[in-house]
Structure 1
Amino acid sequence: MSRRRHVPAVLGLVAGALVAVPAPAAHAAPVQVPCSVPDLVAAINAANGSPGPDTLHLARSCTYKLTAPDPVNPGNGLPVITSKITIDGRGATIKRDERGHKVPKFRILLVGPAGDLTLTRTTISGGFATDCPAFPDPPGLACGGGISNLGRMTVTRSKFTGNTSQSDVFAQGGGIDNPGTGSISETEVTGNHVVYSGTDLGSGAAGGAIANDGPLTVTDSRLTGNTATVTADTQSFAFGAGIISFAETTVENTVINKNRAFARGGFARAAVSNGVLEPGTMKITGGSISDNTSDAPNGTAQGGGLATNALMTVSGVKISGNRAVAENGTARGGGVRLGPFGTLELTDSQITANTAEAPGGTAQGGGIDNPDGGSLKAERNKVLRNTATAKGGTAQGGGLYHAGGPEGLGTTTLKNNTVTHNRAGDGGGIFKASGVLTLNGDEVRANRPNNCSPVGTVPGCTG
């Protein structure tokens, strides 16, 4: 963290001369940008070339329709942001005007490594990423349909809608991709899409709304109705339909709702996901993760609401109505799922009415699933009315499913939680297959057909 030092101004004589502190440089007056794409392009180019920060005021409620990419950087609709620029949209929209299929594909904005963009009161729409500026090798990746930030980015009171990142190699960040340093507040990211359209096995699409590879804070925002999809039967991963984190990420008081990951014959993983590329923690505080779906027919659905395979802390969050669905496959963790490298601290949250559903297959952990060696510490949570169901198959752990993983190292430590009114084929409250699971002042009751299974595997749990 940087320090600021306040040095008192000193007025004195040095070698007979008067030394004065120079006055700060004046900020340029805001530039009023008419409702015209050429004027907007010219204003950004002029701001990039000026020595200090610049503010652009867009025409109120104007729609700037981009019909051609930037000639210098054709992956983008507007010139790359290379200096400190504020764009105050004042209700304006910047969109790629598709006009059928006549307009080339390009994202709307790219913030370069030296750029510093503040975007406020602006809608970004219709962008379509064709490259990945932060990761150009291997070629063919696509990142950030609406905006890709390699420098610094502050977004407030804005909207990203109908943007797409699609690739036959790997795609991430349907609405926003952040390899730089970013902050998003009071912003809606809705109806964006990330798509893997290739045929190679084991690739993926990550972050329907947002993908983060650099420090990012999301506050008081809404991530709704975004999708992550992959080509059927490629054993590929569709994950983080709301947000995927590969680095330090903080999410506060944000609604993550009705996002969908779909992977027929592959892996569909959670509206909120993190990975193991960087050591940063994903911290989620307040807000809700609700009514999201991970759907993997003939495949594996891993977490309907959130999934962690790295470091994650969750506090005061409502995780409700999420579904992990895998017809003739495996559905794990309707609300929450831990991977083999996952470490989760879950406190003061509600995990309610989530479902792991696998007709003809295996469903485990309607509320919470820790099956592969992860580490879960859960305190003062309510795990209520979750369901694991598998008509014609196996359904275990309505509230919680735990197994130690291949090496038996996985641990679940519960303290002062309430696990009630959950339902499964077996272990309506808790099913423990192996590993270490401990209770400490937890209330486990009124689950169907039983509270804990197999009998005697969970000390302190009966019935």
Structure 2
Amino acid sequence: MRYLLLTLIFLLCFAPTLATDYTLDETCTLADAIRAANADEERGECPAGDGADNITLTADITLEGELPRVLSDITIDGAGFSISGDEQFRIFYVDGGALTLQNIHLTGGLAHNEVSFTFVDGVTGRSKSGGAIIANRGSRLELVNSRFTNNVAEAYGGVLDTWASEIIIVDSEFSGNSAANGGAIGSAFSSVSVSNSTFDGNIAAEVGSALQVFNGSAHVSDTQFTGNTSAEDGGVINVFAGTVEQSGNTFSDNVGGDCAGCE
């Protein structure tokens, strides 16, 4: 009896972490893989997800419509391939899930539809934000060794708009993205960490050509900011009612100042 009990405890403590690995092809599409991972059920020709799931691209993808929202724990390895929003669609919406994007290129994303964010005091509208990605409602987003080019939002975050979420960015490039505020990233009530990355040629029609922080925090280290443009002396980094810690960053040939509102 004691042996059986010890065996059971060992199996429970050291059971392998469950996951499903999706390799995309003509039968298992990216949209169906996300649906299967979210629901832990078969979708199309994609098997059921199981725990934290992994999706690997095998070719470039041009979207013909918006992808399903990410509601679970998913890692997408681009394997050097790209996903294009075709200058029509936002690419990812993380809605309370956890998404890791690695070795991927997101381009041509467009925040064309109006979205609303639910916060502690009700619904707060954020129209046409997050050209390539939205992270919302306690989501976690990691961007690793990836590129983000020519994404557009009318309001906040040419690449990424985040609300009440955790963002980690490592070894990534943001180039040629634009928005009214936060040419690359718009962050509200969120925690953002950026390291060993580059921001080049991003544009904010108003403030924060690379990053805007509103009522949140950011730590930016060992990152290069070159040729970014914001109006109104809005800064490459713009902070309003938040905090930004910096170390080891370099700024060159930017228009509108380096950091507005930084301590």
TM-score by length of 2: 0.85
Give matches, 1:9-28, under 5 Å: 13=2, 18-19=5-6, 20-21=8-9, 22=12, 23-28=14-19
For 1:91, give the aligned amino acid.
G
1:289 counterpart = 2:251: yes
Contact 1:254 1:288 in 2 (8 A): yes
1:107 counterpart = 2:107: no
Query: How big is each residue's C-alpha offset from its partner over 1:197-253, in whole Å with a ceiling of 9 and x where there is no partner?
Result: xxxxxxxx2100111220010010011101111xxxxxxxx1001111121100010
Change (3 A) 1:240 1:37: farther
The percentage of aligned residue pairs carrying the same residue is 31
Aligned counterparts of 1:33 and 1:148: Cα–Cα separation in 2: 23
Secondary structure of the residue aligned to 2:153 is: strand
The equivalent residue for 1:218 is 194
225, 237, 241: which is aligned to 1:272?
A: 237
Contact 1:37 1:64 in 2 (8 A): no
For 1:208, give the aligned amino acid.
G
For 2:82, give the aligned amino acid.
T
TM-score by length of 1: 0.49
Give matches, 1:220-259, under 5 Å: 220-229=196-205, 238-246=206-214, 247-259=216-228
Deviation at 1:37, TM superposition (A): 9.6
Aligned counterparts of 2:200 and 2:210: Cα–Cα separation in 1: 7
Contact 2:86 2:109 in 1 (8 A): no
Give matches, 1:422-461, under 5 Å: none
Give 1 or 2: higher helix fraction: 2
The equivalent residue for 2:36 is 46
The equivalent residue for 1:362 is none
Deviation at 1:174, TM superposition (A): 0.7
Give matches, 1:311-330, under 5 Å: 312=262
1:206 counterpart = 2:206: no
Change (3 A) 1:242 1:17: closer
The equivalent residue for 2:61 is 64
Contact 1:37 1:66 in 2 (8 A): no
Aligned counterparts of 1:239 and 1:184: Cα–Cα separation in 2: 21
Change (3 A) 1:285 1:132: farther
Contact 1:37 1:65 in 2 (8 A): no
Aligned counterparts of 1:249 and 1:37: Cα–Cα separation in 2: 41
Change (3 A) 1:83 1:17: same
For 1:275, give the aligned amino acid.
F
1:118 counterpart = 2:103: no
72, 83, 91: which is aligned to 2:80?
A: 91
Q: List alignment gaps of at least 5 residues for structure 1.
A: 1-11, 69-76, 99-104, 195-204, 230-237, 295-303, 313-343, 345-463
Deviation at 1:26, TM superposition (A): 3.9
1:145 counterpart = 2:107: no
Change (3 A) 1:269 1:18: closer
Change (3 A) 1:86 1:273: same
Deviation at 1:132, TM superposition (A): 3.5
1:185 counterpart = 2:182: no
Contact 1:178 1:216 in 2 (8 A): no
The equivalent residue for 1:101 is none
Secondary structure of the residue aligned to 2:31 is: helix
The equivalent residue for 1:55 is 54
Aligned counterparts of 1:112 and 1:27: Cα–Cα separation in 2: 22
The equivalent residue for 1:336 is none
The equivalent residue for 2:21 is 30
Change (3 A) 1:133 1:92: farther
Aligned counterparts of 2:169 and 2:198: Cα–Cα separation in 1: 10
Number of residue pairs matched by the alignment: 241
114, 117, 125: which is aligned to 1:134?
A: 117
For 1:251, give the aligned amino acid.
V
